Structure 1
Amino acid sequence: MRNLREVAETGTAFLSTLVAGMSLTLPINFAWTSESSALQLNMMSYNLPRSIAAGVIIALIVAVFATTVNHGLAAWGSALFGIAITFVNHVMGRHIGPSTSLSTLNFIDAIGAGILIGGTAAAILHTRLQVFGWTLGALCSIVLGAALPGPHGETRATDSGLPVYSPASDTPPMWLIVVTLFAIAVGTFVNRHRTGIERRTFELPMAPILAGTLFVGVTLFGNEWLGRHEAGLLQIGLAVAATIAAGLVATALLPRRDGTLALSAIALAAVGAALIPTHIPSWSAIPLIAAIGAGILLGFRHPAPLIGMIALCAVALAGAETTAYIHTPLHTAAFATALAALTGFSFSSAAPRYNPSRVLGLAIVFMPSVVASLRDRAEHSDYRTVTVQDGRWSYGPIPAPDTSTPYWTALAITVGCLLGLLALRRWRSPTIPATGQALADR
């Protein structure tokens, strides 16, 4: 019975973070999105990083306080409230018109996603299997975001030759939200009397909130600052220094070696922002998800966060040296697969003693790195509402140019994180696994 319950909660964890990740990282989308005004679409695209920032901070707050309450109803109830917000938001969104503010709907979606992530982190993460499902779902949402960019739709031409953008589907899909809502409702009912969901931490319970708010704030400011100024060597250097400094301070706030995951996530976000292409083929999502899963299992079996960080440095360096081949299928496949495997490996290698620290790792990965600003701006001042590529439309900036600057910037951030990890391992004692979680025993 215990094994069946563990498997069921693992599936719930996977669905929850998959839906929450898609709600955070992808703009909300309905069948009528293509009929919205250019102002609505541009405001939606512009405010997306701020919505993500609000969502991940809410996730940290919910995770910390649900863990502190240490009762199943508080944790599962929070997750149920989060998915209910997402469900109601999408039901209402499907029955209103293009005059509605997409930015507001997207912000509500981000709030629901944040509550969902924080609630499930406190409610479900007790064993390695459950951590596997929770982590895989969150990372899969990023892969699906690259393979199925949204909102998107097929383009067709009228008799006069003008392009018409056909309606796109809901993002995330409504059926996926309903299935997740049902799974969490069942989990809430079953665990409504459960106590002692996680061992209390002896350090400051608010530490993950402070660490996340600091890093998210610095990252958001750095992105907007680079977007408004010419990205010269000085400006990039300041952004890199601020990112590394914020990461080190956030690491110092976390208990023992929990900061290992934060540093790994900062490096992953930087390298991923440089490597991930504007769009990958839809069929590639399956092998990339398999690579993530294999990386997670390998990290559980042979945890080595230092090796993962060194490998990220190597990948960033290789990307900088092979910029001329950036659009070749072999280049895209090789780097996407390597990054997927390293992401899974890094998340499972760093085993925090405090579950809200895992939420902080996801928060950092979900936030657009300052490297993304370099990809989106260089040599392209034309930002259009609708971009058409390979017969599909999406709104936002046009594809990034061929330049090695993002790769070198990602390498600098990763090297800084590597040095921070070495210092953390020297100054902090190893993480002691929680007895209630049994993560080291399974």
Structure 2
Amino acid sequence: MSNQQAVLRIPEVAPELKEVEIVPEAVVAGDHPTVLAMADSLSTMGISVTLIHPYKEIEEIVAHMRGLMEADEEVSKKYAFLCEKVAANKSIKVMNEATVDGVSGWWGNFSVGILQKGTSVTLKTSGIAVAYKGNPVLPEAFSAKGIKSFSGFLAQFDMRKGALKEATNPAKRVAFVLDVDGRDEKWASVTALRFGAYLKGFGSQVYILCRDFKVSVDDMEREYRLAREAGILIFKYRDYPRIEGKRIIFQDASAVSEKAPLDVVLDDVDAIVIQEKVVPSKGQEEFLGWLKIPQEGGFVGPNNPQFVGRTPKKGVVVAGDTWYPEYPTDSYTTALSAAAELYKWIGRGTYQVDIQRVAEVDPSKCATCLTCYRICPHDSIRIERYGERNVYITKGEKEGAAWEAARVKVETCNGCGLCASECPAKAIQLVYYPDLEVLEFLEKT
């Protein structure tokens, strides 16, 4: 039998379950409208909610809905209704003019620092839901003086239906310019298709210019087909389009060969909608840093696409632009998924964890280098004084002995093995499959 076959046949370790008590309470924080959806959903499921937002009144969360949110009447009405519902809900504590000023702890025992009107308070909670708005930034390729002076120039994230058409004077020719920063973002393609179809209803001619149109979203193939049938023209360009006043000049990559480049000219364009890149706000950057999520791109979603709203840290969920810039209907759905995910962790009063499938530290080998403490994605490792209050006392040592070493909190450990693989002192083992046991099994088989 090969070693690979032997590993596959290592017997399963019987679980050893420990029941953990969880208080059904959560902090919902941020400035994105989806905080209303998460707060309402969690409260409906019986969770005690504290809603933290930076505005003077809760109604301003809806008033500050920017761009895509404002442009969708159905979603705008839904959030306005949610705002009234949350404000009237006595089981939701609303903290106005408040921001998160640091987070520590772990699932079931988080400490959230809150700064409200110059006063700092700390709130204990079992779970956290966050939704920040991103900051839209125009691509450098389109920051030229001539572009800024064009009155018909708009940014996609700040686009509104009213800005593109008036009841008596709808825009006749509208061009969406995507992918100008080489960013592969599906929300831009979704928005261009849906707003393009809306504008076609007013008789506007719509052009979409992109490097690569993204249709890998639910039902996008159908919308793409309907858009083409409606007469929306979609071009793939080679190099960045040149914009000269109301004229757009580009090379059509889908129709022009390398040997015979040909410029395509769109004249008399009434409105040019440029895809912005959305970067994290300050609060979002700090939060992602605490989650130990890569900052490139600034969103949780691309790093965790299989589980909507979930983060690497148990008991913490995200929505809004903290998850990913989305079309408003999709963003609302993400918020509900995030709330359901959080309820799974904190809504039952108790939770069972398998304390066999965790990492364990040998304190006699630990060098307190803090490597495991820094890299643990679940914040499950603490530095404690062994012999005073730690259960992992090395055999043969006196009960009164005390020295600093790492300790794994079994209730939050996910058994990923990252700490064991990175520990330079080889002081950490996974309880369920220690290296020596695996080697012994391989030798026997």
- Taking structure 2 as the reference length, what is the TM-score of the superposition? 0.23
- Taking structure 1 as the reference length, what is the TM-score of the superposition? 0.23
Which is richer in strand? 2
Larger Rg belongs to: 2
Higher relative contact order (CA 8 A, sep 6+): 1
Which is richer in helix? 1
